[in-house]
Amino acid sequence: MNAKSAKFQLSFLKPGFFKTWLYFGLWRLAVFLPYTGLLVLGKLIGLVLFKLPTHRKHIAKRNIELCFPELDSQQQAVLLRDNFISMGIAIMELGMAWWWPKRRFSKLLQFEGLGNLKRFKGKGVILLSIHHTTLEVGAAAVAMVAERDGMYRAHGNPVYDYLQIKGRLHKSSDNSRLYERRDVRGTMKALKAGRTVWYAPDQDYGIKQGVFAPFFGIQAATVYATARLAEKTGAVVVPFTHVRLPGNQGYKISVHPALENFPVGDDIADATRINRLVEQFIRVQPDQYLWAHRRFKTRPAGEADFYTKIQ
């Protein structure tokens, strides 16, 4: 699906969608603020969310405990607080990525390693990302310097889904497309045609299309799609990262060298290599990772749920 194929429908104006339009309208107005103002507003939102005893807070806290046992309880608490601040800022960043003009947005971007991507022009590339809270910034940034497709999860609210598609392709070329994450055929076709496809394999989608592989020393359900897509299409895997810099410096967008000798044809070995890479990228800026996702939701037979609250 490209931006032009996402059509506005009169049904979007039904009263049931009024709250959605109001929410997006206020959100869009907020991103007219200067960048420093957006950082402050995002931080305030994050701190409010941090104070609430939500299920997502419990999940993030548990993930940090599992992945950073070397930190004492106070250090883990600081990381959790900083992570919620980062998630609050991410709300503002999403608006920037979707609605800011390219000229304004580009002033916040610092690129490195673009040659690692451009050297494969005309060849299929899996642009390997992770779920940093700066995900939308990273996707929009790379779209401004290279034609790329992306994968997304369709939203149940059709108005949100329409705005999501328009926003995520706002800074892309007219030829760029989005593929619903289950559209494996469309993704493979794009890679075989020599296109670059953004892909993030670091969430728990169950074990039907994956294997258990170590992640921060814990067995985690890991999709094997990265290796399978590379093997079946001949695409190269090029990792890239995107982190928010301190102060008001903006963002560092780094394209890393393509993975060599990948895949090796062993699902567990390939999944383990991807998890190690994800772990390496997380450790650079752990407060900016999406810890609120149940990364260890799927457990090997006989293991207890990590996220059950102890009463």
Is residue 169 within 8 A of residue 136, CB to CB? The reply is no
The CA distance from 111 to 78, in Å, is 29
Q: What is the pLDDT of residue 3?
A: 46
Asked whether residue 2 is domain-assigned, the answer is: no
Asked whether residue 9 is domain-assigned, the answer is: no
SS3 content of the chain, % helix, strand, coil (to 5): 50, 15, 35
Asked whether residue 241 is domain-assigned, the answer is: yes
What would the two tokens of residue 298 be? 């799927």
The CA distance from 239 to 222, in Å, is 17
Q: Which residue type sits at 95? A: G
Asked whether residue 301 is domain-assigned, the answer is: no
Asked whether residue 131 is domain-assigned, the answer is: yes
Q: What is the pLDDT of residue 180?
A: 80
What would the two tokens of residue 269 be? 């070995």
The CA distance from 152 to 213, in Å, is 24
- The 10 Å Cβ neighbour count of residue 205 is 15
Asked whether residue 228 is domain-assigned, the answer is: yes
The CATH number assigned to the domain holding 67 equals 3.40.1130
Q: What is the pLDDT of residue 174?
A: 64
Is residue 288 within 8 A of residue 244, CB to CB? The reply is yes
What's the predicted TM-score (pTM) here? 0.93
Give Cα 87 to chain centroid, integer Å. Answer: 12
Could you give the dihedral angle defined by the CA atoms of residues 142, 143, 149 and 153, in that order, rounded to the nearest 10 degrees? 80
The CA distance from 41 to 282, in Å, is 25
Pairing of strands 218-223, 210-215: antiparallel
pLDDT tens string, the chain, 311 residues long: the values are 554 467 899 999 999 999 999 999 999 999 999 999 999 999 999 999 999 999 999 999 999 999 999 999 999 999 999 999 999 999 999 999 999 999 999 999 999 999 999 999 889 999 999 999 999 999 999 999 988 888 888 888 999 999 998 888 887 766 778 888 778 888 999 999 999 999 999 999 999 989 999 999 999 999 999 999 999 999 999 999 999 999 999 999 999 999 999 999 999 999 999 999 999 999 999 999 999 999 999 999 999 999 986 43
The CA distance from 159 to 171, in Å, is 20
Q: What is the pLDDT of residue 197?
A: 93
Asked whether residue 280 is domain-assigned, the answer is: yes
Q: Which domain holds residue 28?
A: 15-288
Q: Which residue type sits at 172? A: S
Q: What is the pLDDT of residue 98?
A: 95
Asked whether residue 149 is domain-assigned, the answer is: yes
Is residue 112 within 8 A of residue 252, CB to CB? The reply is yes
